[in-house]
Amino acid sequence: MDKLQKEGYSKFIKKYFEENKALFEALSNIQKPDTMIITCSDSRINPALILDAQPGEIFISRNIGNVVPAYQPSLGSTQAAIEYAVNVLNVKKIVVLGHSNCGACAHIYHEHQEDEPLLDHVDDWLQNINTAKSAAMLEVHADESKNLFELTEKHNIVSSLRRLMEYPYVQERLVRKEIDLIGWWYDIGSGTVELYDFNTRHFSPVL
Judged by the rule CB under 5 A, the positions of this chain that interact with Zn ion are: 40, 42, 102, 104
Q: How far is the CB of 118 from Zn ion (least distance, A)?
A: 20
Q: Which is nearer to Zn ion, 104 or 129 (CB)?
A: 104
Distances in whole angstroms, Cα of residue 106 to Cα of each of 52, 110, 130, 178:
29, 7, 12, 35
**Helix, strand, coil percentages in the chain from 3-state DSSP, rounded to 5:** 45, 15, 40
Amino acid identity, residue 8? G
Q: Could you tell me if 78 and 163 are in contact, meaning their C-beta atoms sit under 8 angstroms apart?
A: no
Phi, psi dihedrals of residue 126, rounded to the nearest 5°: -75, -5
Q: Which is nearer to Zn ion, 125 or 179 (CB)?
A: 125
Q: How far is the CB of 104 from Zn ion (least distance, A)?
A: 5
Q: How far is the CB of 178 from Zn ion (least distance, A)?
A: 30
Q: Which is nearer to Zn ion, 105 or 170 (CB)?
A: 105
CA distance 62 to 118: 22
Q: How far is the CB of 65 from Zn ion (least distance, A)?
A: 6
Q: Which is nearer to Zn ion, 66 or 179 (CB)?
A: 66
Q: How far is the CB of 130 from Zn ion (least distance, A)?
A: 16
Strand boundaries in the chain, DSSP class E: 35-40, 58-63, 93-99, 180-186, 193-197, 202-205
Element (H, E) at 67: none
Q: Which is nearer to Zn ion, 42 or 194 (CB)?
A: 42
